Structure 1
Amino acid sequence: MTRISFKGVAIGNVVDIVASNVVMLPVVFYLLASAKTGSPTDQGAASAVEALKTGNGFLAASSILGGLCSILGGYVSAHIAKHDETLNGALSSILCVGFGIYALVNGTGHLWLHLLYLPLSPALGALGGYLRSRQTARIS
């Protein structure tokens, strides 16, 4: 257990989730503003949410930006841990994996996408930790 930095893993998890939400806000606003639903005002919110759920633009943007945020979370976790960077980076995706399992159990969202993200989230976090270890190896 001395290989795991609980502080680094916790902060890396928070960075991953918060950064994912922050970078997606402009995308959501853009997609909602550009959606031409043509529905009455009382059904406007429901049709806008439906446009986000079914739109390929939102799916692609959330996948790419979410993956980059997982790499960032792994990097931050490894930076704080200062040892076993790849392991601590991979563990920075615990919340993402937990949310994915929750979505699978409840049947929300795209099933195939959540199944893809379960192994991909720790791999991207480990990549962030690996990048941090390469950076520290170059410096010293």
Structure 2
Amino acid sequence: MTQMTVQVITPSGICYNHHAAFVLLNTVNGDLGILPRHIAVIATLNIEELKVRRVDDENHVDWIAVNGGIAEVKDNLITIVTDSAERARDIDVSRAERAKMRAEQRLKEAKAQKDIDTVKRAEIALHKALNRLNVSGHR
């Protein structure tokens, strides 16, 4: 069986490095399913979950909260470079809930003040918090 290697790299180093039989990326152009021997591609990622079906067991799926970034697929190696990423098992749910509440409050205040820049930043923070909470549900 042919397999791929998936590496997720953040500024603090490699946070994920495993073999995979299938990977699902959420790109700015839509979902992209990757199987072994996929053609070379570079794609921009959304703030969304990354699904990695491991080779050791077809029911073993790793879920990773990825906060945007770039994915490169080449020669059965998928390299994802992102500002931050967390595996479902590593997400502190209470911290993510607090981040969600803070972002919602900032968003509400920014909309009331009609502060477009702060609205955009608060929306991104909220999206990141919701993504982490969603991924944490896959434990």
The normalised TM-score by structure 2 is: 0.28
Indicate the structure with greater strand content.
Answer: 2
Q: Which is bigger in relative contact order (C-alpha 8 A, separation at least 6)?
A: 1
Larger radius of gyration: 1
